[in-house]
Structure 1
């Protein structure tokens, strides 16, 4: 998969739509029509409680979708607020319907928390390298370069790094000085080895840009983009569609948890 995990997108969407479901459920429980319940929410209900019913679930969905370390914790705070509001509702109106609603919310919260502590899900939020859909477009370069004074061959290039298939003997985290001449323009950039292939013949490099090198690499990228040399294998395809994901989920049980990768 080359897109954001569909499981997270669907979960975010369900949270955004939760206020509508909450509105319908409350209308049924109170014996009101939908318009009457809508009027009660926006005209009678205290504004802080209205924010909990409408704003907090939507914010929770947004935090899921953002997929950052801070949004992970912000989402858990939203869950705690939603549970606290249901606990308050039960405390102020102790009856069987509010008790059942409290138990349902508690069970749902526990399931969601359990989902987000699964290592493959947690890594998506805590390790930027796992968010593959955020990677800059990569372009076929197939160009000779000089790396740490030795000849090297760069297979493909992006604004943030490169993939090198031959060159000096390197190890992960080694620092590099890279230079090449492309279309009469000399480019020099610093980098660090991000990973090395098991056979030791290729490695991925992350650039450590200066303002000058960032502009120089951008000029090269613009030229490669104009020539339509983008690496199409890294672009989302039909196999990354929602329909394919949904089919795999129900037929093979795959796709509920994202498959992390470097």
Structure 2
């Protein structure tokens, strides 16, 4: 799995830290130690208030971090709830409860999610096919193989990348159709792999066609296990992937320098 988008990561971290930020601000506001403030809140605050301060931010951060579409909406609703409750608590406490850390963190979160709902960005964050960080790594290889249509003779191909869920392979331009069922056979280090697959997509390149093949669900557990072992073996050898993931610090610097769109 690749690194998640930095806006999502930073918003989730902000939610995870919001209980600590609240305690630090409350300790400064009441001129007491952090430990004393924490003990008093645990002893005196109603259960609902403790849930809102200590538990709900962790849930919202987790919903955001898993980056599922429904999670974004629940996160947005949670932010609105937290802001509303903070205002109610502030008024009920005669303006003595320092709720603004919760208001600020959730206001930032709500504004950010609403920003991601724009047509230009929602395709990336809300379309499952576009979320690159959820795709498994595909290891670059060069395996001779054969691809067979149903009832036809096998044709030679070369597997150029492989993952637990399928392969990318180049074959002669034989007009393969998306969704077409095929059989794939190849060898690596003396082990024979024979699996059924489905053409997920195809891209003609001159006299060749590059096929994206997805393993069929009806492959035997033994064959699927062999592929998973092969993928783990390639990973352990440090084989390059089709999209290399940069170090998190380099990735973060690249995101910061990128012009806003």
TM range (shorter): 0.7 to 0.9
Q: Structure 1: state its 5+ residue gaps.
A: 258-262
Q: 1:253 to 1:181 in 2, by over 3 A?
A: closer
Q: 1:190 to 1:30 in 2, by over 3 A?
A: same
- The answer to whether the Cα contact below 8 Å between 1:191 and 1:205 also exists between their aligned partners in 2 is yes
Could you tell which deviates more after superposition, 29-38 or 52-61? 29-38
Using the size of structure 2 for normalisation, the TM-score is 0.78
2:47 paired residue number: 47
* Bigger RCO (CA 8 Å, 6+ sep): 1
- Give the distance between the partners of 2:95 and 2:50, measured in 1 at CA: 22
Q: Structure 2: state its 5+ residue gaps.
A: none
Q: CA deviation at 1:45?
A: 0.4
Using the size of structure 1 for normalisation, the TM-score is 0.77
SS of alignment partner, residue 232 of structure 1: coil
Q: CA deviation at 1:189?
A: 0.6
2:145 paired residue number: 144
2:240 paired residue number: 232
Q: CA deviation at 1:236?
A: 4.4
- The answer to whether the Cα contact below 8 Å between 2:201 and 2:212 also exists between their aligned partners in 1 is yes
1:260 paired residue number: none
1:206 paired residue number: 214
- The answer to whether the Cα contact below 8 Å between 1:155 and 1:164 also exists between their aligned partners in 2 is yes
2:3 paired residue number: 3
- Give the distance between the partners of 1:93 and 1:162, measured in 2 at CA: 62
1:241 and 2:234 matched: no
- The answer to whether the Cα contact below 8 Å between 1:162 and 1:205 also exists between their aligned partners in 2 is yes
Q: 1:198 to 1:41 in 2, by over 3 A?
A: farther
SS of alignment partner, residue 209 of structure 2: coil
Q: CA deviation at 1:147?
A: 3.1
1:160 and 2:165 matched: yes
Q: What pairs up with 1:64-103 in 2 under 5 angstroms?
A: 64-93=64-93, 95=95
- The answer to whether the Cα contact below 8 Å between 2:63 and 2:72 also exists between their aligned partners in 1 is yes
1:38 paired residue number: 38
1:188 paired residue number: 195
Q: 1:100 to 1:144 in 2, by over 3 A?
A: closer
Q: CA RMSD in A?
A: 3.4
Q: CA deviation at 1:169?
A: 1.2
Note the alpha carbon deviations across 1:1-30, whole angstroms, 9 max, x for none.
Answer: 942223322221121011100111222333
